[in-house]
Structure 1
Amino acid sequence: MTAASASRTIERAVAALEPVALEELTAAAALLTRVDRKYALAADDAARMLAALPEGTRALEIAGERALAYASTYFDSGDLLAYRLAAHGRRRRFKLRTRTYVDANLAFLELKTRGGRGTTVKERIAYAPEDRAVLTEDGRAYAEEGLAVVGIPAPPLRPVIETAYRRTTLLLPDGATRATVDTDLAWRLDDGTTLRTPGLVIVETKATGGPGSVDRLLWRAGHRPDRVSKFATGLAALRPDLPANRWHGVLRRCFADAERTAA
Structure 2
Amino acid sequence: MNVRDDIDRVVFKLRPIDLAEMDSVSLMNRVDTKYAMSDRLLPELLTSISDDYRILEVIGVRKSPYSSLYFDTPTRECYHEHHNGRSSRRKFRMRSYTASNLTFFEIKQRTNKGRTVKKRVTIPGIAPLLAPEATALVEKVAGETVDLRPQIYTEFSRITLVGVDFVERVTIDVDLEFHRDQQHAALPGVAIVEVKQARATRESAIRRRLRDLQVRPMRVSKYCVGSALLDPSLKRNRFKRKLMALQSEAACYPMPGARPDSLLRAI
TM-score for the superposition, normalised by structure 2: 0.87
Cα distance between partner residues in 1 of 2:32 and 2:19: 20
State the shift of 1:11 in Å.
1.6
Indicate conservation of the 8 Å contact 1:40/1:250, yes or no: no
Cα distance between partner residues in 2 of 1:162 and 1:33: 25
Secondary structure (helix, strand or coil) at the match of 2:20 reads: helix
1:221-236 equivalences in 2 (<5 Å): 221-236=213-228
Cα distance between partner residues in 1 of 2:128 and 2:175: 20
- Residue number in structure 2 paired with 1:9: 6
Give the 3 Å change call, closer, same or farther, for CA 239–135 of structure 1 in structure 2: same
Secondary structure (helix, strand or coil) at the match of 2:235 reads: coil
- Residue number in structure 2 paired with 1:141: 136
Q: Does 1:192 align with 2:187?
A: no
Cα distance between partner residues in 2 of 1:89 and 1:183: 26
State the shift of 1:233 in Å.
1.1
- Residue number in structure 1 paired with 2:196: 206
Deviations 1:227-249 (A, max 9, x none): 21110111112222212233222
- Residue number in structure 1 paired with 2:231: 239
1:87-102 equivalences in 2 (<5 Å): 87-102=83-98
Consecutive unaligned residues of structure 2, counting only runs of 5 or more, are 252-267
State the shift of 1:185 in Å.
0.9
Cα distance between partner residues in 1 of 2:250 and 2:41: 18
- Residue number in structure 1 paired with 2:37: 41
State the shift of 1:132 in Å.
3.8
Identity across the alignment (%): 34
Using the TM superposition, name which of 234-243 and 90-99 deviates more: 234-243
State the shift of 1:54 in Å.
5.3
Indicate conservation of the 8 Å contact 2:123/2:133, yes or no: no
Consecutive unaligned residues of structure 1, counting only runs of 5 or more, are none
Cα distance between partner residues in 2 of 1:103 and 1:133: 22
State the shift of 1:56 in Å.
4.1
Indicate conservation of the 8 Å contact 1:38/1:226, yes or no: yes
Cα distance between partner residues in 2 of 1:91 and 1:175: 27
- Residue number in structure 2 paired with 1:176: 167
Equivalent residue letter for 1:15: F
1:110-121 equivalences in 2 (<5 Å): 110-121=106-117
Q: Does 1:18 align with 2:15?
A: yes
Indicate conservation of the 8 Å contact 1:227/1:246, yes or no: no
